[in-house]
Amino acid sequence: MNKDFICKQCGFCCEGESTVSLNQEKIDEISNFMGISRDELLSGFCVVKKNRIEMKTQNGHCIFFEEKQKTCKIHPVKPVNCRIWPLHKSILKDKESFEIIKNTCPGLQEMSYDEICKIIGEK
Ligand code: SF4
Ligand code: SF4
Protein backbone atom coordinates (compact mmCIF):
# COMPACT_ATOMS: atom_id res chain seq x y z
CA MET A 1 0.00 0.00 0.00
CA ASN A 2 1.27 3.49 -0.81
CA LYS A 3 1.98 6.00 1.89
CA ASP A 4 -0.22 9.07 1.86
CA PHE A 5 1.23 12.54 1.76
CA ILE A 6 0.29 14.40 4.95
CA CYS A 7 0.74 18.16 4.96
CA LYS A 8 2.17 19.35 8.29
CA GLN A 9 0.68 22.80 7.76
CA CYS A 10 3.98 24.55 8.40
CA GLY A 11 3.15 27.26 5.86
CA PHE A 12 6.56 27.22 4.18
CA CYS A 13 5.09 26.85 0.70
CA CYS A 14 3.15 30.11 1.18
CA GLU A 15 6.40 32.00 1.85
CA GLY A 16 8.59 33.82 -0.64
CA GLU A 17 8.61 36.93 -2.74
CA SER A 18 6.28 35.62 -5.43
CA THR A 19 3.18 33.47 -5.56
CA VAL A 20 1.32 31.40 -8.14
CA SER A 21 -0.46 33.26 -10.93
CA LEU A 22 -4.20 33.77 -11.16
CA ASN A 23 -6.30 33.43 -14.30
CA GLN A 24 -9.46 35.46 -14.93
CA GLU A 25 -11.72 32.68 -13.69
CA LYS A 26 -9.79 32.39 -10.42
CA ILE A 27 -9.86 36.17 -9.96
CA ASP A 28 -13.65 36.08 -10.23
CA GLU A 29 -13.87 33.10 -7.90
CA ILE A 30 -11.69 34.68 -5.19
CA SER A 31 -13.39 38.07 -5.39
CA ASN A 32 -16.82 36.40 -5.11
CA PHE A 33 -15.62 34.37 -2.15
CA MET A 34 -14.30 37.51 -0.43
CA GLY A 35 -17.40 39.52 -1.27
CA ILE A 36 -15.45 42.26 -3.04
CA SER A 37 -15.25 43.43 -6.64
CA ARG A 38 -12.64 42.21 -9.14
CA ASP A 39 -11.08 45.68 -9.08
CA GLU A 40 -10.84 45.65 -5.31
CA LEU A 41 -9.18 42.24 -5.42
CA LEU A 42 -6.76 43.34 -8.13
CA SER A 43 -5.78 46.61 -6.50
CA GLY A 44 -5.66 45.39 -2.92
CA PHE A 45 -4.42 41.83 -3.13
CA CYS A 46 -2.74 41.28 -6.50
CA VAL A 47 0.27 42.45 -8.43
CA VAL A 48 0.80 42.42 -12.21
CA LYS A 49 4.18 41.02 -13.22
CA LYS A 50 4.99 41.05 -16.94
CA ASN A 51 2.13 39.01 -18.39
CA ARG A 52 0.87 37.43 -15.22
CA ILE A 53 -1.20 38.41 -12.23
CA GLU A 54 -0.04 37.11 -8.89
CA MET A 55 -1.27 37.42 -5.35
CA LYS A 56 0.69 40.07 -3.44
CA THR A 57 3.21 39.15 -0.80
CA GLN A 58 3.30 40.70 2.64
CA ASN A 59 5.89 40.08 5.39
CA GLY A 60 7.57 37.52 3.14
CA HIS A 61 4.54 35.40 2.41
CA CYS A 62 1.37 35.36 0.32
CA ILE A 63 -1.09 38.05 1.40
CA PHE A 64 -3.70 35.35 2.05
CA PHE A 65 -1.55 33.45 4.52
CA GLU A 66 -2.85 33.66 8.07
CA GLU A 67 0.28 33.77 10.22
CA LYS A 68 -1.02 32.69 13.64
CA GLN A 69 -2.99 29.67 12.51
CA LYS A 70 -0.76 29.04 9.47
CA THR A 71 -3.79 28.64 7.28
CA CYS A 72 -4.98 30.03 3.96
CA LYS A 73 -7.64 32.74 4.19
CA ILE A 74 -9.05 31.72 0.81
CA HIS A 75 -8.70 27.97 1.33
CA PRO A 76 -11.99 26.92 -0.36
CA VAL A 77 -11.07 28.78 -3.56
CA LYS A 78 -7.27 28.79 -3.48
CA PRO A 79 -5.46 28.26 -6.81
CA VAL A 80 -5.10 24.69 -8.01
CA ASN A 81 -1.31 24.76 -7.69
CA CYS A 82 -1.69 25.67 -4.01
CA ARG A 83 -4.22 22.87 -3.61
CA ILE A 84 -2.09 20.11 -5.07
CA TRP A 85 1.38 21.19 -3.90
CA PRO A 86 3.73 19.37 -3.46
CA LEU A 87 2.09 16.52 -5.38
CA HIS A 88 2.99 18.04 -8.71
CA LYS A 89 5.00 16.48 -11.56
CA SER A 90 7.43 19.40 -11.48
CA ILE A 91 8.98 18.10 -8.24
CA LEU A 92 9.93 14.88 -10.02
CA LYS A 93 12.02 16.59 -12.72
CA ASP A 94 15.08 14.86 -11.28
CA LYS A 95 16.04 13.32 -7.97
CA GLU A 96 18.26 16.27 -7.06
CA SER A 97 15.42 18.81 -7.42
CA PHE A 98 13.16 16.46 -5.47
CA GLU A 99 15.66 16.36 -2.59
CA ILE A 100 15.84 20.18 -2.53
CA ILE A 101 12.04 20.49 -2.38
CA LYS A 102 11.85 17.66 0.13
CA ASN A 103 14.12 19.62 2.46
CA THR A 104 11.67 22.52 2.50
CA CYS A 105 8.53 20.45 3.07
CA PRO A 106 8.11 18.60 6.39
CA GLY A 107 5.31 16.52 4.85
CA LEU A 108 7.77 14.96 2.42
CA GLN A 109 10.37 14.03 5.03
CA GLU A 110 9.37 10.40 5.38
CA MET A 111 8.72 9.89 1.68
CA SER A 112 11.07 8.67 -1.03
CA TYR A 113 11.26 9.81 -4.63
CA ASP A 114 9.76 6.45 -5.74
CA GLU A 115 6.85 6.76 -3.31
CA ILE A 116 5.99 10.23 -4.58
CA CYS A 117 6.28 8.95 -8.17
CA LYS A 118 3.70 6.29 -7.31
CA ILE A 119 1.31 8.80 -5.70
CA ILE A 120 1.53 11.28 -8.56
CA GLY A 121 1.31 8.48 -11.12
CA GLU A 122 -1.96 7.40 -9.55
CA LYS A 123 -3.54 10.85 -9.61
S1 SF4 B 1 5.69 23.03 2.95
FE2 SF4 B 1 4.77 21.00 2.85
S3 SF4 B 1 4.12 20.51 4.94
FE4 SF4 B 1 4.50 22.75 4.84
S5 SF4 B 1 2.47 23.59 4.37
FE6 SF4 B 1 3.54 23.30 2.41
S7 SF4 B 1 2.86 21.28 1.70
FE8 SF4 B 1 2.37 21.41 3.89
S1 SF4 C 1 -3.42 31.24 -1.78
FE2 SF4 C 1 -3.33 30.32 0.21
S3 SF4 C 1 -2.28 28.37 -0.11
FE4 SF4 C 1 -1.85 29.68 -1.90
S5 SF4 C 1 0.08 30.69 -1.43
FE6 SF4 C 1 -1.60 32.03 -0.75
S7 SF4 C 1 -1.91 31.54 1.42
FE8 SF4 C 1 -0.72 29.88 0.50
Q: What is the pTM of this model?
A: 0.88
DSSP sequence for 13-69:
GGBSS---B--HHHHHHHHHHHTS-HHHHHHHHEEEETTEEEE-EETTEETTEETTT
Among protein residues, the one whose CA lies closest to atom 8 of ligand 1? 7
Task: State the closest ligand 1 atom to the C-alpha of 108, by its place in the atom list counted from 1.
Answer: 2
Q: What is the pLDDT of residue 90?
A: 85
Half-sphere exposure of 76 (CA within 13 A, CB side): 6
Q: Where are the domains of the chain?
A: 12-122
Q: Is the beta carbon of 79 within 6 A of some atom in ligand 1?
A: no
Q: Is the beta carbon of 45 within 6 A of some atom in ligand 2?
A: no
Q: What is the pLDDT of residue 52?
A: 94
Contact status, residue 120 vs residue 87, Cβ threshold 8 Å: yes
For the chain, 123 residues long, give each residue's pLDDT as a single digit of tens.
Answer: 456 888 999 999 999 988 999 999 999 999 999 999 999 999 999 999 888 999 999 999 999 999 999 999 999 999 999 999 998 888 888 889 889 999 999 999 988 888 888 888 754
Q: What is the pLDDT of residue 94?
A: 86
